[in-house]
Each structure stands twice: as structure tokens, then as C-alpha cells.
Structure 1
């Protein structure tokens, strides 16, 4: 007998056992999904009051219309009064029961934290003294460009309109939601949801988005931090003492679309560097309705970090780090695949940028 045969045999057996275990888990996962176990709707919105910032156009408007179709009461927030007035009629027209559902709009500048507090107070008064059940942050726009070619004022404006509009809104509503009460004096309320709209650029930066990507990365970091911090308040409801606890559990979600066909996207294309368009060739823009539908379905499944297409999912897989997983099986395998793919992708992005500079010289303002 060959002396090394036993060790080879045991190595092979261990490998085969590991592969069998993986396939068994995957098979079990597939069966669970096939028969719908654990697929109860975790984002039932009928009769709930939803605030959507950036709700006058694009993805925000699509989200408002689709949640109205599911029976929600909708409040849309944006700066431009005329757009709000036009959009609220479209939202009302999408309602499943317009005679019972309620609709409202508020014009506000979300870069001002006091305005965000005013919004939540106004919605609470409009909602018979109850704060909104769901807040979805869709406000913001992109001003692409190279870092040193972009004025400092524009860099600051992008952080204000992308990150701070979301952070200000989150701060205002969480301060309202997380006021402790004596649970014996009030019946438990349904779970509340805070939803951020981010971008896959928070996972994989692309040359030409220097004004925009850092703000989205900051939003992703805020989301991850709040995802942990919120458990302090959720945990208060499970305390044996329960003398003071928050009135409802809160769940955080963040959506990471790629390109979205909208007036904002059209404006981006006019000023976007040609190299940026080349580097993001794999991004096939989706309609606002498509992105809204995919995001809502994922929230209904209880997902935390949500992408809206396969390429975006690969980008997420490459950068999950310590973020919570939607599915430890699916996200782990996606992460392995993404890490292999991006061994080639990242050097290729840098090579394309180098070649562009070699052929065209430095960018001109």
C-alpha cells in the first residue's frame, strides 16, 4: 500500500464532506424558499403613514405611488412646491382606496435640521397626534466631476444634499420615535421603519464621482451604526423592568441602486466625464418604478442592505465587511464570488483611468 494513501484518502474525505455539507445547506435553503416558509410580509403598509423625502420625482415619487397602491397614507417632501402639487395628485391616483387614504405634501429644505424637525412635527399633528410609521429618505442629487476640478463649494453642497438631508431627517424622526414611555400605559405599536436611499458607489467608487461617493459612503456608515444603536432601544422593550421603554421596535434599511432613469440622471449625463461613462458601462440604468418595486419587495422580506440588480449585488458582496447580512448563506457565497471578480475589476478600472490620461492628458475644467 502506498504510504501516503491514508492521508490523501482522509483529505479527500474531508473535502467531500465539506462540499456535501455546503450543498445540503443550499438544498435546505432552496426548499425553504420554494415552499415559502418564513416569507411573511415584514413591511405591511396598509393604513400606515409614510413620509418620503425627495418624493416629488424619480425614485421617491415611484415609492410614494407604489406604497399608496398598497394602502398607505402618504406625505411627500421636497423643495419645489409646484412639483409637489403635481406629484401628490399622481400619488392619490395610485391609491387602492383614495376615499380612506390620506395624502399630504410639505415644502422644505432638508439641509436645515430645524426644517426636518418641523416636518416631523407637522406630520405628527396631521396624523392625529401620532408620528409617522415609516420614513424613507430619497432626497438628494448627484453632481459628478473630478475632485480637483470641482469647486469646494460644490463638494460641500453634495455632502449637504446627499448625506445631511438623510442624517437630519433620521435625527428628527428617531428623536420622536425613541421617547421612552411606561409600557403599561400604552399598548405596543407596530414596528417602525427608517429607510435610506444610498448608491452602489458606497461599495465601489468610480473615478468622476468624487463629489458624490463620499457622501453616500457616509450614509452607509451611518446606516450600519444606527443598525447597532437601535437595538439599545429595541432591547428596552424586552427588559424585565420595562418601567421605561420605547413604544415600538424600529428597523433600519438601506437601498443601493445603480443608475436610475430620471430628470436628475439626464442632468448628470450632461456634465459627467467621458471616462466615468466608460467605467460604468456595466451599469444599465433602471426605471424609478423598477427600483422602487425591487426595494419594497426586499424590505417586505426584512432585508437590510438592498441592491436592485445583479451587478450591484456583486459590488455589495465585495464590500460587506462588518455589515449585517440579509442571508448568511447567499451573502457569503456572493462575497466569495465578488472577491474573485474584483481581483480583476479593480486593476482594470485603474488601468482604464491610466490609459485615458495617457491618451487625453489631464482633465480640463
Structure 2
């Protein structure tokens, strides 16, 4: 009632000049002033009440505008790069929620081993299907389309969820990396996600009951890192594709998620470390090393919530807000957080960048001293 009195008082004051019965208006205004003055000792209560009402309204808007939680039970989930690493960890988690799973990768033996592990952990009597498709995802679109069609026949239902996990990294400074590596990484990391996505989108639209598409980028797809001149641009390209598809597919209730994993303890990461420049190793170590299960859990959570961005760890949270830019916003509160934190996180980023520059400078000094002594 006190809030309504305040609003009425403002309305009367601003409308007084246009109202002929000024005497009556003044009398009413005086009554309102008396009531307001009697409530002056409770201003904090009024402020608290107003903030509470605002928070409630924002919460209601957020709940009704964010995507509905996506239940994976009995859904057909296709995972590229599902034979090992993050892809296999994701497969184990979605299978644990009752999804039918198709794993796609090149190495048939690794696929069969992953298939056996998933079946043993999800249970043999659940009626779930775990299928495999051996295919080079970067070779050409027709072969990928044929593999998707084969998976649909094996499982007996169209693809509901596509998770693009396939990818690789070849570190090295710009001048040291062969041009063929740049071309190959663009085929594997970018086209290797374009082809399967193109293969499933038409059927997802025809189903008319929504779907999910996940692109696994990298924290190196949020900022350029020393030694990733061939790798980083391919992951940035995936983000651009995801933003476009998010706009195009949203009217069809198909939600797109981009995951930005940090360094993850996988066979691919161990192989990558063999050729990493010293600077790249030291910069990467500042974010720590995460386990595949944790990263996979964040990816699955993101796709089920319909979030555009899925991240892991404190640095991942900071980067997600800092690099949001004009990307899609999944909820009202997420947008408010991005606006609130952007300036602060940009300020913090200066210290990160300064520390990276210091690492690079020290490494160069050590090399110069070593070369001088030889």
C-alpha cells in the first residue's frame, strides 16, 4: 500500500497543471504527503520491498524465457570424436541418463573399445543402443551423411542431439608450423564439425520437436594463445558458425551450445604436449589441468539447459563473461551478469595478459643466453 501511495503522489503532482480542479488536487496531494511522511521512518523497508518485488519480477521473467530443461532419456545422441577423451566421457554421461548413443570416429578398434565400456557401465538390459560409425569426418560431406543415415537406421530413430567433439591440435610458432598443418586443422576442426551438423539439421527441423547441437571449441577459441596459430583460428571459426546457427535454428526450437574446455587430461592432450613451445606450456599451466569427466559434465549440463556457452572452472567462467560480446544470451540473469561483470573482468584481463607477456619475454631471454653461450 505504501508503494502505491508513493506512485499515486507522483502521478498527482505531474498531472496537477493539466487538471482544472487544482484545489481538490492540492488537498489530495496534502493527504498523500501526510501518509508518506508518516512512513518516512520506514524508508529502508520500502526500498527493500521495492527491490524484493523487482527481484521477483526478474526471476519470473527469467524462468519463463529460458529454454526448457532437455531430458536425454530415449534420445538419439550422436557424438563425433566419441572413441576417447572428452567425447567418450560425454558418451558415458549421456548413456547414464538413458540416451541411445552413436559414436563416430576414424579408428574402429578405439570405437569398439569405447562401445564396450559404455555398454558395460550403462547396463545390458536397459534396451539402450550404443552404435559406432567409423568415418573420417573431414574427408567429404557425402561420407559423413552416409554414416549419419546408417546410424539412424541402426538406432531406429532420427538424431535428436549432435555433439561435435572431434578435433586435434598441433602446437608450434607461426613460422615453424608447416602450411599443410594449417590446412589440415581447418579441415578436421572446422569442416569436421560442419559436415555432421549439415547432415542432421534437416531431419531435426522435420521432427519439429526441438533438438540440441553442441560445438566443442576451446579456451583457445576465446583468446589467441602463443603457439596455437594453426589451432586457435579453427576454434574461433567454430564459435562464428555456432552463433549463426543459433539465430537460424532458434525458430525451430533447436538450441546450439558452444563448449570451451580448458586443458583436459586426455590422450590428445598428452600427444599435443610433445611438441608444445615452452611459452605455450607455461601459459597453459596458469589455468590448470581438468579431468574429462568434469568437462563432460559441464558440456552435458550446458546442452540440457539450452545454454549457448558451456565452460569449466573459474577461468572458464571469467572468459565466458568477458568474451560474450554480441553472442546469444540464454537467460535474463545471464545477460545481467555479463553486463555487470564485463568492465571488471576486462580490467582483470590486463593482469593476465601482462603475465603472459612476461612469460614470453623470459623464455626469449633464456633462449638468447643459451644461444650466446653455445
Which of 162, 165, 168 is matched with 1:138 structurally? 165
Task: Say which is worse superposed, 40-49 or 190-199, in terms of deviation.
Answer: 40-49
**Is the Cα–Cα contact under 8 Å of residues 92 and 98 in structure 1 kept in the other structure?**
no
Cα deviations by residue, 1:164-215 (Å, 9 ceiling, x for unpaired): 1011111111133335xxxxxxxx7532111111101111111011111000
**Is the Cα–Cα contact under 8 Å of residues 49 and 73 in structure 1 kept in the other structure?**
yes
Residues 1-365 of structure 1 correspond to what in structure 2 (within 5 A)?
24=51, 28=55, 42-95=69-122, 98-111=125-138, 112-128=140-156, 130-179=157-206, 189-231=208-250, 233-234=251-252, 249-326=253-330, 327-361=334-368
Extract unaligned runs of 5+ from structure 2.
1-43
How many residues end up aligned between the 2 structures? 319
Q: Distance in 2 between matches of 1:125 and 1:335?
A: 47
Task: Say which is worse superposed, 167-176 or 86-95, in terms of deviation.
Answer: 167-176
Cα deviations by residue, 1:84-123 (Å, 9 ceiling, x for unpaired): 1110011112226644111110100000212211122112
SS of match in other structure, 1:271: coil
Q: Distance in 1 between matches of 2:215 and 2:269?
A: 19
Q: Distance in 2 between matches of 1:349 and 1:331?
A: 24
TM-superposed deviation, 1:46 = 0.4
**Compared with structure 1, are the counterparts of its residues 26 and 258 closer, same or farther at alpha carbon in structure 2 (3 Å cutoff)?**
farther
TM-superposed deviation, 1:40 = 8.8
**Compared with structure 1, are the counterparts of its residues 126 and 337 closer, same or farther at alpha carbon in structure 2 (3 Å cutoff)?**
same
SS of match in other structure, 1:62: helix
Task: Say which is worse superposed, 98-107 or 333-342, in terms of deviation.
Answer: 333-342
Extract unaligned runs of 5+ from structure 1.
1-16, 180-187, 235-248
Q: Distance in 2 between matches of 1:26 and 1:329?
A: 17
SS of match in other structure, 1:77: strand
2:28 maps to: none
SS of match in other structure, 2:214: strand
Q: Distance in 1 between matches of 2:52 and 2:298?
A: 26
> Larger Rg: 1 or 2?
2
TM-superposed deviation, 1:142 = 1.1
**Is the Cα–Cα contact under 8 Å of residues 66 and 94 in structure 1 kept in the other structure?**
no
Q: Distance in 2 between matches of 1:78 and 1:196?
A: 16
Cα deviations by residue, 1:236-273 (Å, 9 ceiling, x for unpaired): xxxxxxxxxxxxx3111111110110111111111111
Q: Distance in 2 between matches of 1:136 and 1:292?
A: 11
**Is the Cα–Cα contact under 8 Å of residues 71 and 97 in structure 1 kept in the other structure?**
no
TM-score (norm 2): 0.78
TM-score (norm 1): 0.80
**Is the Cα–Cα contact under 8 Å of residues 317 and 334 in structure 1 kept in the other structure?**
yes
Cα deviations by residue, 1:68-92 (Å, 9 ceiling, x for unpaired): 1100001001101111111001111
